[in-house]
Structure 1
Amino acid sequence: MIENLRPYLQLIKENHDFRRLWLAQSISNFGDWFGLLALYAIIGRYSDSEFLLGLIIVVKMLSLAAFSPIAGYFADRFNRRRLMIWCDILRGLAVLGIILVQSPEMLWLAYVLTAVQMMLSAVFEPAKTSSIPNVTSEEDLTNANIISTATWSIIFTTGMAIGGFATEWLGTDRVLILDTLTYLLSAWFVYRAAIPQKSLSDAELKRTRNPFKGISEGLRYLLSNRHILRPSLAKGTSTMFLGGLVYLLIIVSEEVLMMGSIGLGLLYAARGFGTGIGPIIGRRIFRDEKDWVKMMGLSILFCGVMYMVVGFVNSITLMLIFVLLAHSASGANWVSSTVLLQKRTQDTFRGRIFSTEWLLFTIGNSISVVIASLVLESGWLTVKPLIMIYGGIMVLAGIIWSFTITRNERDWQGQEIQN
């Protein structure tokens, strides 16, 4: 076991700049999940409205989506290290400001500050992902992304649980203060890291001084480079179905398993663990990078099949196994598409490419959840048949990917060999 982990531990130990960037990501991600239940508690304290509770999720997703295009422009035009530091400091202040919500009349402030927090996250994420190739060698790039994804999965499974206990024991104000400190600590680690970056030339800076010009130029770059466009579609294609399926796990826990938050915690823990181990398994099965676009289609297909089984069974044990397997495939899809984008995209466009990918991801996720919730609300279907339908359409998407995008990738690779 230790031998298998050695390349990852060695990278963290020997590469000081990656270690600091990884620690910053880990701490800020923990802060994201740690403070979430305190935010829910504040909304619940000053409102009995389920709509207002759900609205905070919509605000988070729409803020990310709406700010993603300009965020990528910032990540390419300005120094990414400084951007991440300022994003962390300002996110900390935004979270701290939620303490001012002390009455129903002030509840609007929680939504405004959450929107600000997520807009800053929309800048931080592409800046961070774009920086990983600049602090690692090409040989270590896949391992670096596996470490990042595995860390996210661990934090996902523990952050909300710890935040829930902390909210209960310490109260919302103290939790928000601690959340603020996580962002400031993240900023400190980014400050300590040396993050090289290829700057735009004077001509490029002048040509793209209008943000709309810079954004449109990034979009043209993406559309004209199909070998970059293909992996950029992987996460969005997957989450068009997976977003709704993850949402439906909440209903499964409540109405099928009758286990409430305990069942949901177990299902989400299986999701997080699967996301963490999937990239490691995927890399062992698909060792050749030339096969990774094919792996993305197979991962989408496999994930859909696993969720069809989740919709069929009633045992919590079986559900945990198949949710874990489904998200193992999703995790492999996530890391392989990220690494290909990092390698294939030139540094001066990387921020805009990753922000566009994030935009597709958030839009796909939002649409998927809205459709699933409307279908359940209307009574057209119950939760288990809906899971099987979502899983079945996801299988179809994986098959279509294999016959179109995988084939186009293979043709491009053949042309590259001839050239």
Structure 2
Amino acid sequence: MGLSKNRSLWNLVIGQSISELGNQFGYIALIAVIYEQTSNFMNVGVLLIIKATIRIVVSPGAGFISDRISSRHMLIGSDLIRFMLTISILFIHNTYIIYIIVALITMAEVCFTPAFAVYLTQTVEDHELLKANAFYAFSTDLMTVIGPALAGVTISIIGTRWGLIGDSLTFGIAALFMFFISSKEKVEDIKLQGSKMTISDLNGHIIVILILGVLLMLYGGAANVLMMPMAQYLSDDFERTLGVLFSCIGTGFLIGSFLVLKSGFSVFQMEKGISLSMVLFALVSLGFTFGNSIIFVGVFCLVNGIANSLFSINSNTLLMKSSRPDIRGMITGLDNALSNGASIMSMSLGSLLLAYTSYQNIFKGLMLFPILGFSLMILIKKLGNNPSF
């Protein structure tokens, strides 16, 4: 059965896309709620720190759970929990209680990710996994591009209260789509026995991909911070320029997922796609270092988005194909925890270095990470005859 006729896949991806739209609405709405109550951006910063910390701490445990219970039930539960918790914020006027609710919402969001990854591998054949990941990435990236703008406009017109209601409704609708995905999961006997992941399960391919994810986040975390001084350097209209640059990155994400899904060229797929992404990241660093016009830098922002998409889709596919079916959730959770930790460390370091040097010099240093990544991809080819590679 092809992807176009796989009803479970369509329900799964549509439900996930609506859930992602809810994440984008929630991000904007929660920032608005906290600022309206406190009039202090420091409290907004606390909100972001809570979300980031929860992602790092909870991800491994969420992956462990997703390998031991029904992924379908976990997906539905995650959306229903977020639906109820988001609605509850309407009746809460204590900032600290809202922080607790946000922590619980983020936990449910974190549990959704490995459950989705596990179920995706169960609803498509192995040879369809790459295109299924690209299809999922395209729909998610589309929500990431239009979600914040839609949320911002909606909240500015009808207010924060209705923005939260809209946010909660997206999770309710997503849960409905998840309800209609197939309940016949390919549950392995070893999964029912509650197998444990050991160090020996982390084969060379998995370790290399996890390291690549960390390298990318060390690059990307700092790069996101450096976008702000770069926008300020390029134009006096800082906010508009920053918006244009991030829009270019978002558009690049869509192009990258489309290339994997529809182009048919092997250079965009699997290990070749990852290697190409590392080359593109190095070129982007050069472009950001020497770019002195919005158009020039915008083009490299587009390339940056394409590189991110190529890496994400292909690394997720290789990670799943290299993992035992009964530990795929744990591997996904471990990957998320390591990547989020690296991203936070990189953002902190990037902010610190800006006090001592220019963003151009920092981008020159960031070029080291994709170069190391490309070197690791060469190592992958020498690890053995894994059919996934």
Normalised TM-score (structure 2):
0.91
Matching of residues 204-283 of structure 1 within 5 Å: 208=194, 217-223=196-202, 225-254=203-232, 256-281=234-259
1:100 matched to 2:91? The reply is: yes
1:148 to 117, 121, 136: 136
Cα distance between partner residues in 2 of 1:319 and 1:285: 29
1:37 to 6, 23, 28: 28
Deviations 1:291-335 (A, max 9, x none): 833542442242132133123212111111101102211210111
Partner of 2:147: 159
1:381 to 357, 360, 372: 357
Partner of 1:65: 56
Partner of 2:166: 178
Partner of 1:349: 327
SS at match of 2:65: helix
1:74 matched to 2:65? The reply is: yes
Residues 366 and 285 (structure 1), Cα distance of their counterparts in 2 relative to 1, 3 Å cut = farther
1:11 matched to 2:3? The reply is: yes
Residue pair 2:56, 2:336 contacting (<8 A) in 1 also: yes
1:408 matched to 2:379? The reply is: yes
Residue pair 1:37, 1:163 contacting (<8 A) in 2 also: yes
1:227 Cα deviation after fit: 2.3
Residue pair 1:81, 1:190 contacting (<8 A) in 2 also: yes
1:368 to 346, 349, 360: 346
Residue pair 2:217, 2:342 contacting (<8 A) in 1 also: yes
Q: Specify every segment of 5 or more residues in structure 1 that has no aligned partner in the other structure, as ranges.
A: 1-6, 209-213
Cα distance between partner residues in 2 of 1:416 and 1:305: 30
Q: Specify every segment of 5 or more residues in structure 2 that has no aligned partner in the other structure, as ranges.
A: none
1:322 to 294, 300, 319: 300
Cα distance between partner residues in 2 of 1:35 and 1:122: 14
Residues 80 and 204 (structure 1), Cα distance of their counterparts in 2 relative to 1, 3 Å cut = closer
Residues 416 and 138 (structure 1), Cα distance of their counterparts in 2 relative to 1, 3 Å cut = closer
Residues 259 and 19 (structure 1), Cα distance of their counterparts in 2 relative to 1, 3 Å cut = same
Cα distance between partner residues in 2 of 1:307 and 1:399: 11
Deviations 1:53-112 (A, max 9, x none): 22222111111111011101110000010011111110112222222343xxx1112221
1:256 Cα deviation after fit: 4.0
Residues 166 and 245 (structure 1), Cα distance of their counterparts in 2 relative to 1, 3 Å cut = same
Question: How many positions carry a matched residue from both structures?
Answer: 386
Q: Amino acid of the residue matched to residue 344 of structure 1?
A: S
Normalised TM-score (structure 1):
0.85
Cα distance between partner residues in 1 of 2:191 and 2:381: 33
1:397 to 369, 375, 378: 369
Cα distance between partner residues in 1 of 2:139 and 2:199: 34
